[in-house]
C-alpha cells in the first residue's frame, strides 16, 4: 500500500475548471471519502488519480513516486500505477465465473496458475464469497457482484483502492450491508481507500476523514465528527448533517474557545471557530445549530412557532420558526401542534464565518 499526495492539481474541460488547485495528502492505510454535490469535481479528481485523465497543472505522487506532472512531462499510464478501481456498474464479464472474473487481471499479466488460484481464493475469502466461486455474475445479488468487483481489486495487491460511488445502484438494505463489507475489507487489508460519494451518510459511516468538495475546491477536510460539529463555512454546514445556520452579529468572546451570542430574547453560549476567536469578526458570523442542540423547554426565553412535527420513534422532530425567515430542526419528547408557540433551550452551537471557507 502507499500514501498519496496531490499538489495543486488543476483540470479544465474547455473553459470549465472541474478541479481547481487541489492539494491533498492521504496517509498509507487511510480511508478517505470525497464528498460533494453533483458537478463538484470529486469524480474528476478520482479519474486524475487513476490516470484516466491528465492534469493541466500540479503533481500526483503515489508512495513517493511521481505519476503525473505535466510541467515535468510525466504521465504514468493507469495500468502502471497499480491501483484497484471499483466502479458503480461492477464491470464484470457475464460469461466468466466469479473466480475467473476475480483472477482475470492476473491472467492478463501472465501469473502462473498455482499462484493465480492461491490469490483468487484469498481474495474471495476476504469478501466472504468462497462458496460462489463457480457461479456466473447473473446468479448473484447486486451486493455480491459489488464484492466480486472488490475482490478483483484486492487480487492485484494494489497500492490503493479507488471506489467511484459503488453503492449508487443498490437498494437501502444492500447499501447498509455493503458499507459494513467495505469497512471489514479495510480493517482486514489495511488498504488505502478513496471513496467518491454524494451521500453524506455513507461518508460519515465509513471514512477516517472526509474532503468536502464544491466547485472544484476542497472546502474542508476533517474527521466526520469535526465536519459535523465544526463546519468551516456555510456550504459545509448546509451539506453535512441536518441543521440550520442563523446569522448573528452580537458575538461576545469568552475564554476557552467559547462565546455568547444573542438570538431573539435569549443569550446563547456556543463554541467559536479559532479564526473568529482570534478577534477577526467581520459581521458575517453564523451560528450552526444541529437538531440535538435544541430542545423544547417550557419557559425558555427563545420562542418559536411549530411548523411541522414528525415522530422518529422515542422522540419527535419539530420544525420551529424562530424569526421571519429562519426555521430550526428541534427535538422534543412530546408531540406539538402545528402553530403552537414553544420555548427552546439551546445546549450547544458553533459560531463561524459564513463567508469564508477553508479552500485547500
pLDDT of res. 58: 97
Nearest to 33 by CA among 230, 198, 234: 198
In the sheet that 160-164 helps form, which strands lie side by side, from edge to edge? 83-86, 160-164, 192-197, 31-35, 209-214, 217-222
CB 137 within 8 A of CB 128: no
Provide the pLDDT for residue 358.
43
> For residue 233, what are the contacts with CB-CB under 8 A and spacing of at least 6?
219, 220, 352, 353, 354, 355, 356, 357, 358
CA quadruple 191, 196, 199, 203: dihedral sign:
positive
Per-residue confidence (pLDDT) for residue 325, from 0 to 100: 72
User: CA–CA separation, 316 vs 115, rounded Å?
Assistant: 58
Q: Which domains does the chain have, with CATH numbers?
A: 4-229 (3.40.50.300), 234-353 (2.40.50.140)
Q: What is the pLDDT of residue 137?
A: 92
Q: What is the pLDDT along the chain (360 residues), one digit of tens a residue?
A: 579 999 999 999 999 999 999 999 999 999 999 999 999 999 999 999 999 999 999 999 999 999 999 999 999 999 899 898 888 777 889 999 999 999 998 988 889 999 999 999 988 988 888 999 999 999 998 888 888 988 888 888 888 999 998 887 777 777 787 788 888 888 888 889 999 999 898 999 999 999 999 999 999 999 999 999 999 888 999 899 888 888 887 788 888 889 998 887 788 899 998 878 766 565 678 899 998 899 898 888 889 999 999 999 989 999 999 877 788 899 998 899 999 999 999 999 999 887 665 444
* Three-class secondary structure of residue 287 per DSSP: strand
Q: Which of 175, 178, 96, 90 is nearest to 132 (CA)?
A: 96
| DSSP notation for 93-119 | -TTS-HHHHHHHHHHHTT--HHHHHHH
Residue 359 pLDDT: 43
5 C-beta neighbours (distance < 10 Å), count: 16
Amino acid at each position: 500500500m502507499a500514501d498519496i499526495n496531490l499538489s495543486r492539481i488543476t483540470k479544465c474541460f474547455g473553459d470549465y475548471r472541474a478541479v481547481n488547485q487541489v492539494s491533498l495528502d492521504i496517509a498509507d492505510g487511510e480511508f478517505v471519502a470525497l464528498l460533494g454535490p453533483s458537478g463538484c469535481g470529486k469524480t474528476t479528481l478520482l479519474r486524475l488519480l487513476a490516470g484516466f485523465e491528465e492534469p493541466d497543472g500540479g503533481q500526483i505522487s503515489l508512495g513517493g513516486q511521481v505519476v503525473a506532472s505535466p510541467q515535468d512531462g510525466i504521465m504514468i499510464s493507469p495500468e502502471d500505477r497499480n491501483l484497484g478501481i471499483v466502479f458503480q456498474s461492477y464491470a464484470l464479464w457475464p460469461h466468466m465465473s466469479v473466480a475467473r472474473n476475480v483472477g482475470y487481471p492476473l491472467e492478463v499479466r501472465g501469473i502462473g496458475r498455482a499462484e493465480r488460484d492461491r490469490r483468487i481464493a484469498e481474495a474471495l475469502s476476504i469478501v466472504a464469497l468462497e462458496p460462489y466461486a463457480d457461479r456466473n455474475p447473473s446468479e448473484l445479488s447486486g451486493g455480491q457482484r459489488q464484492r466480486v468487483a472488490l475482490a478483483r481489486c484486492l487480487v492485484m495487491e494494489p497500492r490503493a483502492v479507488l471506489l467511484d460511488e459503488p453503492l449508487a445502484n443498490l437498494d437501502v438494505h444492500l447499501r447498509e450491508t455493503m458499507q459494513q463489507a467495505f469497512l471489514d475489507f479495510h480493517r482486514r487489508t489495511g488498504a488505502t481507500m478513496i471513496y467518491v460519494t454524494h451521500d453524506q451518510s455513507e461518508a460519515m459511516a465509513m471514512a477516517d476523514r472526509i474532503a468536502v468538495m464544491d466547485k472544484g475546491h476542497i472546502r474542508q477536510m476533517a474527521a466526520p465528527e469535526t465536519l459535523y460539529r465544526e463546519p468551516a463555512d456555510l456550504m459545509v454546514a448546509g451539506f453535512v448533517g441536518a441543521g440550520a445556520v442563523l446569522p448573528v452579529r452580537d458575538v461576545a468572546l469568552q475564554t476557552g474557545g467559547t462565546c455568547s451570542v444573542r438570538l431573539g430574547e435569549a443569550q446563547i453560549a456556543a463554541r467559536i471557530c479559532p479564526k473568529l476567536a482570534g478577534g477577526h469578526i467581520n459581521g458575517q458570523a453564523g451560528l450552526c445549530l444541529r437538531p440535538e442542540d435544541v430542545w423544547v423547554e417550557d419557559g425558555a426565553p427563545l420562542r418559536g412557532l411549530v411548523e411541522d412535527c414528525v415522530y422518529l420513534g422515542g422522540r419527535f422532530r419539530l420544525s420551529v420558526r424562530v424569526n421571519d425567515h429562519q426555521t430550526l430542526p428541534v427535538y422534543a419528547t412530546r408531540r406539538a401542534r402545528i402553530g403552537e408557540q414553544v420555548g427552546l433551550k439551546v445546549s450547544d452551537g458553533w459560531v463561524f464565518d459564513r463567508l469564508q471557507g477553508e479552500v485547500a
